[in-house]
Amino acid sequence: MSKKVIIITGASAGIGQACADRLAKAGWTVVGASRRGSSGQSWQGMVMDVDNDESVAQGFAQVLAEHGRIDAVIAGAGWGLAGAAEQTPIADAKAQVETLLWGAVRCAQAALPTFRQQGGGRIVLIGSIGGVIALPYQAFYSVGKFALEGYAEALAYEVEPFGVQVTIIEPGNFKTDFTQSRRTIVPSGDDPYRAARERAIGTMERDEVHGAGPADVAKAIERVLDSKRPPRRVSVGKMGERVGVMAKRLLPFRLFEKSARGALGV
Ligand SMILES: NC(=O)c1ccc[n+]([C@@H]2O[C@H](COP(=O)([O-])OP(=O)(O)OC[C@H]3O[C@@H](n4cnc5c(N)ncnc54)[C@H](OP(=O)(O)O)[C@@H]3O)[C@@H](O)[C@H]2O)c1
C-alpha cells in the first residue's frame, strides 16, 4: 500500500510543526498547511487559510489530486485572543471563533467525502485545556475551544459508521509561538479590568513559557493515529493540568471554581 497521507493545519509553528516532523519521520506523507506555507525537511508545505472556504476546499482538492488519497487530518491552526469579556469587540471575538471552530469544521467537512469513499479516516482536533476549564480574560478563546468539544462529540457519532474516528486533544500549557502571537484587547482610558487582566494573562503566559516543548503533544497524537480504537479525548500536559481537567469533570462546580482561582491567576 502507498504511504498514508495526512494534512496538518498550523504546521508552520509549534504543535502542528512538531506533529509534521514526527509523523513524516514515522513514515506518513505529510502536507503541512498554514498561511505562511512553510515546509519541513521531510514534509511538504501548503498555503491554506482555514478562515477561508475556498482556500480550504482548494487545499484538500490539491492534496487529493497530487497524492490520490487522504487518510487523516489534524486541525491544529489557531491563535489566542485575550482581553476582558466586556471589552472585547464582537468582531474580534468572531475572528477568534472563525479560526478555532469554523477552521476545524471546514477541514473536517473537506476531508469527510474522501474518508467515506476510502472506507475510513482519522480526524484529530486540537482543543485545549481552555476548552474544558474556561479561562478568565480569554473568554472567546474558551468559547471557540468549548464549541470544538461539542462538535467533536457530535461528529464522532455521525462518522463512526463510515469508519472515521474523531479525537480531540486537550493540551495544557506548551512553549510555542502561541504566547507571542496572542492578541490582547487593551482599551484606552479608564480600565477597571486592567490589574486583574494583567495578572491572569501574566499567569497564563508564564505557564506557557515554562511549559514543555510541543514534541510531547506530537507524541500523544502519533499514539492516537496508531491506535485502532483511539480515545475521544486526550489530555496532554503537566500532572497538575491533567488533574485539573479531571477535577472539572468530577467536582461540584463551586468547589472546583474555588480551587482553580489560584492557577488561573484570579
Ligand atoms: N501552546 C499551547 O500552550 C496550547 C495549549 C492548548 C492548545 N493549543 C492549541 O494548539 C494549536 C496550535 O497552537 P501552537 O501552540 O502550536 O501555536 P503557534 O506556535 O502559534 O502555531 C499556530 C499555527 O497556526 C497557524 N494558523 C493560525 N491561523 C491560521 C489560519 N487562519 N489558517 C491556517 N493556519 C493558521 C499558524 O501559521 P500561520 O501564521 O503561518 O498561518 C501556526 O502554524 C492551536 O489550536 C492552539 O489553540 C496550544
Overall number of domains in the chain:
1
**What are the distances in angstroms from CA 174 to CA 18, 54, 179, 222?**
12, 31, 9, 17
Domain CATH code at residue 17: 3.40.50.720
Who contacts 84 (Cβ-Cβ below 8 Å, separation ≥6)? 137, 185, 193, 197
Q: What are the backbone dihedrals phi and psi of residue 197, each rounded to the nearest 5 degrees, phi first?
A: -65, -45
Single-letter code of the amino acid located at 51 = D
Q: What are the backbone dihedrals phi and psi of residue 50, each rounded to the nearest 5 degrees, phi first?
A: -70, -10
Q: Whose CA is nearest to atom 11 of ligand 1?
A: 76
At residue 190's C-alpha, the angle toward residues 186 and 194, to 5°, is 50
Cβ pair 103, 51 in contact under 8 A? yes
Question: Tell me, what's the pLDDT at 1?
Answer: 62
Q: Whose CA is nearest to atom 34 of ligand 1?
A: 34
Question: Tell me, what's the pLDDT at 2?
Answer: 79
Question: Tell me, what's the pLDDT at 34?
Answer: 98
Q: What is the pLDDT of residues 46-103, one digit of tens each?
A: 999 999 999 999 999 999 999 999 999 999 999 999 999 999 999 999 999 999 999 9
List per-block mean pLDDT (blocks of 10 residues) for the chain, which spans 266 residues. Answer: 92 98 98 98 98 98 98 98 98 98 99 98 98 98 98 98 98 97 96 97 94 97 98 97 96 96 94
Q: Which domain holds residue 259?
A: 5-264
Pairwise CA distance, residues 29 & 19, whole Å: 12
CA of 177, closest atom in ligand 1:
19
Cβ pair 27, 41 in contact under 8 A? no
Query: Which residues form the pocket of ligand 1, taking CB atoms under 6 Å from any ligand atom?
Result: 9-16, 34-36, 48-51, 76-79, 99, 103, 126, 128, 171, 173-174, 176-178, 181, 208, 211, 214
Model-level pTM? 0.98
Question: Tell me, what's the pLDDT at 111?
Answer: 98
Q: Whose CA is nearest to atom 44 of ligand 1?
A: 78
Question: From ligand 1's centre to the CA of 49, what distance in Å?
Answer: 12
Question: Tell me, what's the pLDDT at 225?
Answer: 98
Q: Whose CA is nearest to atom 46 of ligand 1?
A: 78
Question: From ligand 1's centre to the CA of 251, what distance in Å?
Answer: 31
Pairwise CA distance, residues 25 & 29, whole Å: 9
Cβ pair 182, 213 in contact under 8 A? no
Q: What is the pLDDT of residues 240-260, one digit of tens each?
A: 999 999 999 999 999 999 999
